[in-house]
Structure 1
Amino acid sequence: MRIFACLSVLVLSGLPAVSGAAPSPVFDPVSLKSSVHGPMTQVMVLGTAHLAQLPPGGFRNDMLGPVLDRLAGYAPTLIATEAMSGEACQIAATFKVPYADVADTYCERQFAMAALGFKTTGLDIAAAAAQANAELGGWPADPTPAQRRRLAALFAASGDFGSALVQWLRLPASEAHEGDGLSPELVAMLQDLRGNPNEVVQIAAVLAVRLGLERLYASDDHTADSIHNAAPEGYGEAIQALWKLPDAYSADYRTRVSNLKSSDDVLSLFQVLNSAQGQAGVVNGEWKNALAQNSPQLYGRQYVAWWETRNLRIAANLRASFGNQPGGRVLLIIGASHKPYLDAYMHMMHEVEIVDAAEVLR
């Protein structure tokens, strides 16, 4: 059902005098939080390091145990990730001019899995996503292994590699084989994916299986990269110069990730990334400097425009993911530099209560 509303108000008299001071917004979204009926929707944004980019020889997947234990204690009912959906990838591939290499850079796994899924299901990305959602709409409390294999194949065909892996990992070992839409090639890809040092796999999917969830929600967006691609000559060099400015927070981060030797080290890293001090370090170390960058083209402000737009679109995707599940507990797992922005944006949502990730990780 679609609901369209139009409200026009014409004020003919009683307008206040215009002053030189910048006006305050008439409406603060936070002001409606007290009007929400029922429990608030809890949202926790977990800032993470990108595990695949950690220095080799230190971090191992099995070091995430204490982090996973604490996240399981929060018991999210919905888990979202910093991955692009099959739909978002298809849009990026179709609109090649503004988005340039977005699809090639961020959608390789989605498209590879979708291509294999298409061979076995005959469904393209859009049709497979629709069918997967339809299956979940009537999902039984105790699905058969054949149903799980079929749903894994549908998620794969839709480009949702995270949810396909969740279904694969929820199969008993004796039932983790080809069939019901899973080809030998898809099985091999899923088996290879389960060992991948990636937070979508090692945190989101592993946690979803542990909590009995059926899927993940891909929430990333790179359409803001059109701002990068339209920037004038010299933009790239100016931004790289910003990255080279002295930054105590970044220096501490590099030291920590280079010395990960135990599960306690990994937990400590996550605690710092999600602390108030860590978030302030991100904002002051990069975005404050970018806003102050001095050039005739105001390169830094164009860089901030890209960052704000990207995070706003991620926030919109996240908000949509739990739009039909009010009152739940939401977990978004995303690169730590996004966290302060997404916490701020999600706090503006009427029915959202922000959960302190640092407190959960303590």
Structure 2
Amino acid sequence: MKYLALVISLIATAWAVPIYAQMPAINLRGVDEALIVEPTQVMVLGTAHLAAFDNVEPRHIDSLLDRLAVYNPQAITIEGVPGETCEMMRAYPSEYAAALDSYCTDVAPFRAESAMNAAEAAARVRALLGDWPSTPAPAERRSLAAAFLAAGEPYSALVQWWQLDQAERRSGDGLGMASVAYLENRATSMNESTQIAARLAARLGLERVFTADDHSSDLVLKPHGLALWARMREIWDTNDPSSKDGYVQAENDIVAGDILAAYRFYNSPETQRQAINNDFRKAMNDSEGAQFGRAYNSWYQVRNLRMVSNVVAAGATVPGGRVLSVVGASHKPYFEAYLDMMHDIELISTDTILN
């Protein structure tokens, strides 16, 4: 009995121990004070998804490209899923079918024309870039474009395509008719990865863009099915309709030729706060039923963490250099918060080029 009483006493004592929130032992915000070499600079450009707009043409964003060229990034990341991630998702079609259809290019025609599988194409890209000449011949650019396509990196293939003289934009060196047709069509597509990131990379003489999106995080949502999105629509419907006014005006600004005004809106601190308050902060407080809003919030955090790791990897290719990350505006506050915890990354305000 004495032994039992002692056990009960110990258990009671253990439950009585207070639990305190743990503060990080080291504050990692900002550039590490111990850094004695130049930090890597990263500017996060929050963007609209331009493909959703009517009447927007490449010429409407020329003034933005001019400003970004002054920043002169040495590496550019985009909201595109890396080819290797698409390969992983292809290995699990039952888990990722929707993401594959939405975010991964069908590379089978390109692989047939270049006679490379995924691993061979990725190795070919690394080998070519590892010994890339200062003045590549057209055949070398076509060969690298073919490898990028087969590796599932179409935007980087487009960067090479645009640096060819018009007469050299033809089949050969691994590019077949399907590859050429795809690149010509992609060149006219109105989305930010093409018309901002890839165009800027080609203009600056870069050899690629780095794909930084992630949809392996979609497994967080998988167990909840369509019921989650029905609940999220209920949450979003509680927003003040006037909160959309700024986005409507920004679209009008783009079409009217004032893209800088639109991008000042997308990247302003007030727009960022409003987006967080109307979406993720509401979702994280969802206490009804299965708490779908919390699952949605977790998914977005996981996605952003993995995306930022890809940005950091891109920055590692230009240590002490300049990186531009072009990403949907709702990702921007997460990107900047997470990047600010890296030892050797200095965040550069978009005010530098937009104002």
SS in structure 1 of the partner of residue 351 of structure 2: helix
1:46 aligned residue: 45
Q: How many Å separate the matches in 1 of 2:134 and 2:354?
A: 31
Within 5 Å, give how 1:205-220 maps onto structure 2: 205-220=198-213
Indicate which of 72, 77, 80 corresponds to 1:80: 77
Indicate which of 225, 242, 263 corresponds to 1:270: 263
SS in structure 1 of the partner of residue 33 of structure 2: helix
Task: Report the TM-score, using the length of structure 2 for normalisation.
Answer: 0.91
Q: How many angstroms does 1:19 deviate by? A: 4.5
1:252 aligned residue: 246
Indicate which of 129, 142, 145 corresponds to 1:149: 142
Q: How many Å separate the matches in 1 of 2:257 and 2:216?
A: 36
Structure showing greater Rg: 2
Indicate which of 39, 54, 64 corresponds to 2:61: 64
Indicate which of 285, 288, 294 corresponds to 2:287: 294
Within 5 Å, give how 1:182-193 maps onto structure 2: 182-193=175-186
Q: How many angstroms does 1:65 deviate by? A: 1.0
Unpaired runs of 5+ in structure 2? Answer: 1-16
2:34 aligned residue: 35
Q: How many Å separate the matches in 2 of 1:278 and 1:236?
A: 23
Of 92-101 and 214-223, deviating more is 92-101
Q: Give CA deviations for 1:292-341 in whole Å, capped at 9, x if unaligned.
A: 22303222111100110000010111111222421110111111000000
Within 5 Å, give how 1:13-28 maps onto structure 2: 19-28=18-27
Contact 2:47/2:329 (CA < 8 Å) preserved in 1?
yes
Task: Report the TM-score, using the length of structure 1 for normalisation.
Answer: 0.89
Of 314-323 and 232-241, deviating more is 232-241
Q: How many Å separate the matches in 2 of 1:332 and 1:232?
A: 31
Residue type of the alignment partner of 1:263: G
Contact 1:151/1:167 (CA < 8 Å) preserved in 2?
yes
Contact 2:72/2:204 (CA < 8 Å) preserved in 1?
yes
**Relative to structure 1, is the Cα distance of residues 103 and 82 closer, same or farther in structure 2, using a 3 angstrom cutoff?**
same
Q: How many angstroms does 1:232 deviate by? A: 6.6
Within 5 Å, give how 1:153-232 maps onto structure 2: 153-231=146-224
Q: Give CA deviations for 1:255-303 in whole Å, capped at 9, x if unaligned.
A: 4325643221x22111110111111111111111112223032221111
Q: How many Å separate the matches in 2 of 1:69 and 1:260?
A: 15
How many residues are matched? 339
Q: How many angstroms does 1:32 deviate by? A: 6.8
Unpaired runs of 5+ in structure 1? Answer: 1-17
1:5 aligned residue: none
**Relative to structure 1, is the Cα distance of residues 300 and 332 closer, same or farther in structure 2, using a 3 angstrom cutoff?**
same
Contact 1:249/1:278 (CA < 8 Å) preserved in 2?
no
Within 5 Å, give how 1:131-150 maps onto structure 2: 131-150=124-143
Contact 2:74/2:318 (CA < 8 Å) preserved in 1?
no
RMSD between superposed Cα atoms in Å:
1.8
Q: How many Å separate the matches in 2 of 1:86 and 1:234?
A: 30
Identical positions, percent: 37
